[in-house]
Structure 1
């Protein structure tokens, strides 16, 4: 068979297998990346042997990772890299040095290698993590813009830069120290010259070229020019002894600051995705399942050593650079694998005689297994933290460690607005509020943004907005409102829920990162949810419609109607099973549980407005599954609970326990004539220090204290021995007259809170 025709058959086989593997993985709700890797194993030399020209397929696959890193460079940009330069350069460099040093020491002591040179070489292999796999996982979860995503990508960039240095030093490892020094010096000089050249080209060469291509108004010419630029710079770095992947990343960085960056990314993405599928399938072809099985104990031991060792190096390093504990843990777990570039180092080391064939095969096997595990680790991180927080001792440790790193001296103490996230949206919110004289406090965990806040003298808290400690320090309980503009959906949901735990009546407006998050955020208690793309559509339409003759009052009514409907007329139609699947995934990350409603439950026959579940127990009801099999996602306040219903509820363990007590009828539910309100106990209140039995509000006024919120803790249905402390929020239930009398006895100068029956936006909670 002709060689060129053989290559076409191989390419078709790889792409078909990758498509089938990815489809099966998606249907099984597994990472698509896993499907690509398994497809490569099946059709590769160790599987069915369908691929004959493995070298040529690998060459094309190398283009895939080059385009992947090129896209990363375009999205990441110099400004994004600047935000995490400390942990990238300092932490990334220290991680490589520590990994090499510890691996060399342990391998020599254990007798795995016979010389320090071999130990250093083994450490170099283990020090590299997988840029392609981690990047793909972050992109699938929309987490490239998150703090932990930027930290991981920053460290990976430094690792990729170090690959060129490692390749230059490898031949001199068994030479005298002087030769090693010369090799390191020459490699650093090459990297420095290349970096200088990239900066100069990025300033004076790239912008005019892209403008020239754009002026042709030809999509084909623009794409061809960009691809030629990417591969040309990649080829240049290959000739200099660096990796072509590093060159592709630098090419992306040079384009990222130009006005055509978004257009470039749009054109390259389809090509990138196809070539990336080729790359991951090619990695799978290198995996030999038979060898893995024959050496399973050794490989599992090495995998455990790699995962634990890299985690114990990276997580503390990130923490040393003053990042939150949870961010440190995520970065440590996310980078605890051996990277695809380690194949390059291992092949070169085998050629130079630094490792035997068996050790080389063990390295390949260990690398392959860690790459297979990484998508599962990245995907299961939210569930891991939910599980960790369900253990009281571990939750206490995590909460204790996640404290504010810094608080500005001029922070407001009350009647202020808390803004979570100081990106583009958060910055605009702060400016508009300050221009009108409203006190503002910003929460952010990026050192770069905190420095901007210091320079502009805007009050801030340096910490994780998801942390109860940080929210409490921000005075959420005394705030007039909160705006949440965080970069990732998970942090947004948790920040919203925990802010309402501290202040149930807080007016919270939230930016939805995706349209599928809108109903979820309303259900969690947001007073208003804003989706930037829909808002842009409304503003553009408003301008056109007014010019076309529609009256301004009529237009405003139409726009307000769309907003009240949660953009329902603008949102694309999705199948019920798709909505249900997305809801299940989101609630699984937030400690969501299905609970069967008991047959004799007092909740049966009540509407969700009447049950007032969020106020009474703290939980949010996300879905109802009827006894007939029908499922109602995001039920509204008029929905009636029926016998045999299964309820999907989200809440902390104590909140879930409170809901179960309520559903079983073990605690009283306010009757239909009763109203509920939250009341803040001031420091000078006469009830401070007294127990509920001493106050006896039920006997005196006919008012029940259904719950106490205290420093983020939810005390459900307190008994008579519970005491009242300053700063407590009490949930009082009774008729209006009685509530007014009780509120006067607790806080004579404070007006009663808003009636509980006024649900926001028509949602149940």
Structure 2
């Protein structure tokens, strides 16, 4: 027999170690992520007295796959609607964290004697928290329904985007020894264009595609399609120069807007758990005990810097964005770890030979230690907040409460700003999509067409092809906000408003003409004046085309329908913010597990509102969404409940939903359950059932059986009704408990 490949044997060692450690940590009521790290230490090259992994390079590949699926699962849970609902908070906090930790990290590196470049890279490493680790910790600790988790995940997404820009910035600095502002700006614009293009395209196409293919998608095909889309977006992101994790998250967020989101989440979970375990074990495998001893001082200092710095800057950033003190502290204590981007940045510095050799193993050790401490920091958030609330001056607390309750900008009541937000923000997104599509077409599609159709004819075909894509979108840009209530109000309020309103429309027209001019000039090499005239004529034709107008309406309606509209996004926001005692109320979504004790019971029977203080306001069941269900509504496995309550109520509610039937009750049910059998029984000459109907015989109750058919000389009776009379000599075919069926059907009449 041939030897087992190292990949298989190494995987066996990893999973055995992970399984044993997980069981131990589950028994100790500790997060399983810590068990995975311990398993990594045991399976790593540092331990020699037990079988260990022989080929660490292959495990790193599996770990990369684990990160992809973890980020994909996070995207499924954290859709674009949720990201938009915490967008301002996430951006403000992420910028505060990155700027603060870059400064602190650089200063710490210089104080430890690191080189100037190593200190800069160190600041970048310490500023990035771990999306995968935080997401897994939230899952293990049952915190995903808490109000602060949406804020934390939003910050992590923004940090990942900032990390891409930071990598470009650091690599440019390492090579040229100076900052290239133009290159950095180009990278930011490229990242934004990538996200906008694929997000709009995905929201337009993917939900519609899955709706039309729904009858063909069983669990197997849906899983394959979802993973294929995930890895396809990963390839696109990598080809565009971004991280694989970013591509996985984007596709997860797109699929979160589809009717199959819940099914995909359930199907992907085992895959995510498997490869996620391998990833966290691989983190533990990077620990070298000898190195920890040698660089114990810097490792301890950097660990303290990460714990204190991330908690401080994250809390400050979330507070500045207008969130309450408790949410800010909980968010800050959840981000106290060094993430996967630190390894990427450290590898970048090593590859470019601009950082010290010992920086990589030191940052890996700090990452492992802070990862190990992450669950304990999360648990320490509430006591820390309680301490602050007891010791902060009452005046400060009132100021923070007023600031949080007034964080919603008063500008929402300004009609002009509401109009600009309605008109310009969607218009800018659509214009970026047009520019990205135009650039891709001119680079790839147009040369392919002109190579097969040379001359002016090929250029005309290319123009027609790109106009087929751009024209409906440009018409959406021109129409955006022109008939809104704000526009009509401003137009009617004062004649002085009409000039600026017309100017806004002219600006949109000029932007659209500029996009068309770029296409015309690239394809026909015309002069500027001629290009402007042709573009103006094309835009006029687009505006007055009834077919394009209808297509534009359909496109906008599909995007609005697939994205779910603004109401869903608003549902993620806190309710009655700043109005005590309701300031802690917010909405969250919970899933009903297959074995949950609430499955199969009505809302009235469970009485969530009286027992746990939460209110179920909607139930999502596949494509159906039950709004404001009444007490007679029954819960089924895999239902998604939209619930209103506080964090403390959600914590109890989450445990109730996850609670399953007790092991004793399950064993009792299994013991009393009998195997069903199909059998045939001949009614004797003096049968007790002779002359009775099936309904009168009460076969189901008295024999625990169901009659399938009756054999008679004149012919069989299949699926007999309750009124069918039994006769002596009938051969009755039934399914049920054989120990009860035989004496029932073969019993004779007692005379």
* Alignment TM class, shorter chain as reference: 0.5 to 0.7
* Aligned 8 A contact 2:86 2:154 in 1: yes
What SS does the corresponding residue of 1:174 show, helix, strand or coil? helix
Within-5 A mapping of 1:11-90: 11-48=11-48, 50-90=52-92
Other-structure match for 1:99: 101
Structure 1 residue 371 displacement after superposition: 0.9
2:203, 2:59 → 1: CA distance? 36
2:299, 2:71 → 1: CA distance? 29
CA displacement 1:43-91 (0-9 Å, x = unmatched): 1112246111111111112111211111111221111001111122233
What SS does the corresponding residue of 1:99 show, helix, strand or coil? helix
* Aligned 8 A contact 1:450 1:460 in 2: no
CA displacement 1:637-671 (0-9 Å, x = unmatched): xxxxxxxxxxxxxxxxxxxxxxxxxxxxxxxxxxx
Other-structure match for 1:222: 222
* Aligned 8 A contact 2:206 2:254 in 1: yes
Other-structure match for 2:391: 393
The verdict on how the C-alpha distance between 1:19 and 1:402 changes in structure 2, with shifts beyond 3 A counting, is farther
Does residue 1:119 correspond to 2:119, yes or no?
A: yes
2:30, 2:633 → 1: CA distance? 39
Structure 1 residue 520 displacement after superposition: 10
* Aligned 8 A contact 2:101 2:126 in 1: yes
Structure 1 residue 130 displacement after superposition: 0.8
Other-structure match for 1:608: none
* Aligned 8 A contact 2:329 2:385 in 1: no
The verdict on how the C-alpha distance between 1:351 and 1:201 changes in structure 2, with shifts beyond 3 A counting, is same
What SS does the corresponding residue of 2:129 show, helix, strand or coil? coil
Other-structure match for 2:347: 347
* Aligned 8 A contact 2:346 2:359 in 1: no
What SS does the corresponding residue of 1:25 show, helix, strand or coil? helix
Other-structure match for 1:241: 241
Structure 1 residue 275 displacement after superposition: 1.0
Other-structure match for 2:136: 136
* Aligned 8 A contact 2:72 2:249 in 1: yes
Other-structure match for 1:403: 401
* Aligned 8 A contact 1:306 1:336 in 2: yes
Does residue 1:167 correspond to 2:167, yes or no?
A: yes
* Aligned 8 A contact 1:223 1:264 in 2: yes
Other-structure match for 1:181: 181
2:630, 2:607 → 1: CA distance? 19
Count of equivalent residues: 465
Length-normalised TM-score, structure 2: 0.55
1:408, 1:235 → 2: CA distance? 40
1:299, 1:310 → 2: CA distance? 16
1:460, 1:266 → 2: CA distance? 29
Other-structure match for 2:632: 539
2:128, 2:15 → 1: CA distance? 28
What SS does the corresponding residue of 2:115 show, helix, strand or coil? coil
Structure 1 residue 3 displacement after superposition: 9.0
Structure 1 residue 217 displacement after superposition: 3.4
Structure 1 residue 112 displacement after superposition: 2.9
Ranges in structure 2 where 5+ consecutive residues have no aligned partner: 409-565, 591-601, 620-625, 636-655, 667-751
The verdict on how the C-alpha distance between 1:402 and 1:27 changes in structure 2, with shifts beyond 3 A counting, is farther
Length-normalised TM-score, structure 1: 0.54
What SS does the corresponding residue of 1:47 show, helix, strand or coil? coil
What SS does the corresponding residue of 1:173 show, helix, strand or coil? helix
1:407, 1:170 → 2: CA distance? 38
Within-5 A mapping of 1:252-651: 252-385=252-385, 392-393=390-391, 400=398, 403-404=401-402, 405-406=404-405, 461-463=576-578, 470-471=580-581, 487=588, 539-540=632-633, 573-574=661-662
The verdict on how the C-alpha distance between 1:329 and 1:541 changes in structure 2, with shifts beyond 3 A counting, is closer
2:264, 2:358 → 1: CA distance? 44
2:311, 2:333 → 1: CA distance? 6
Within-5 A mapping of 1:145-160: 145-160=145-160
What SS does the corresponding residue of 1:52 show, helix, strand or coil? coil
Structure 1 residue 407 displacement after superposition: 7.3
The verdict on how the C-alpha distance between 1:488 and 1:330 changes in structure 2, with shifts beyond 3 A counting, is farther
CA displacement 1:127-160 (0-9 Å, x = unmatched): 1001111111122233334331111111110111
1:87, 1:408 → 2: CA distance? 10
The verdict on how the C-alpha distance between 1:450 and 1:393 changes in structure 2, with shifts beyond 3 A counting, is farther
2:357, 2:254 → 1: CA distance? 41
Structure 1 residue 174 displacement after superposition: 3.2
1:231, 1:47 → 2: CA distance? 35
* Aligned 8 A contact 2:169 2:179 in 1: no
Structure 1 residue 331 displacement after superposition: 1.2
Structure 1 residue 107 displacement after superposition: 3.2
The verdict on how the C-alpha distance between 1:19 and 1:213 changes in structure 2, with shifts beyond 3 A counting, is farther
The verdict on how the C-alpha distance between 1:451 and 1:461 changes in structure 2, with shifts beyond 3 A counting, is farther
* Aligned 8 A contact 1:201 1:254 in 2: no
* Aligned 8 A contact 2:173 2:180 in 1: yes
Deviates more, 1:228-237 or 1:98-107: 98-107
* Aligned 8 A contact 1:67 1:275 in 2: yes
The verdict on how the C-alpha distance between 1:355 and 1:407 changes in structure 2, with shifts beyond 3 A counting, is closer
What SS does the corresponding residue of 1:539 show, helix, strand or coil? coil
Structure 1 residue 396 displacement after superposition: 5.9
CA displacement 1:375-429 (0-9 Å, x = unmatched): 221234335445666xx536968965663433799xxxxxxxxxxxxxxxxxxxx
Other-structure match for 1:603: none
* Aligned 8 A contact 1:165 1:242 in 2: no
1:11, 1:150 → 2: CA distance? 34
1:451, 1:73 → 2: CA distance? 16
1:14, 1:396 → 2: CA distance? 53
The verdict on how the C-alpha distance between 1:303 and 1:216 changes in structure 2, with shifts beyond 3 A counting, is same
What SS does the corresponding residue of 2:632 show, helix, strand or coil? helix
Other-structure match for 1:649: none
The verdict on how the C-alpha distance between 1:368 and 1:486 changes in structure 2, with shifts beyond 3 A counting, is same
What SS does the corresponding residue of 2:287 show, helix, strand or coil? coil
Structure 1 residue 461 displacement after superposition: 4.5
1:184, 1:154 → 2: CA distance? 23
Structure with greater helix percent: 2
Other-structure match for 1:9: 9
Ranges in structure 1 where 5+ consecutive residues have no aligned partner: 410-447, 475-482, 490-513, 543-567, 579-765
**Greater relative contact order (Cα 8 A, min sep 6): structure 1 or 2?**
2
* Aligned 8 A contact 1:210 1:260 in 2: yes
The verdict on how the C-alpha distance between 1:138 and 1:76 changes in structure 2, with shifts beyond 3 A counting, is same
What SS does the corresponding residue of 1:232 show, helix, strand or coil? helix
1:359, 1:299 → 2: CA distance? 10
Between structure 1 and structure 2, the one with the greater Rg is 2
Structure 1 residue 572 displacement after superposition: 5.0
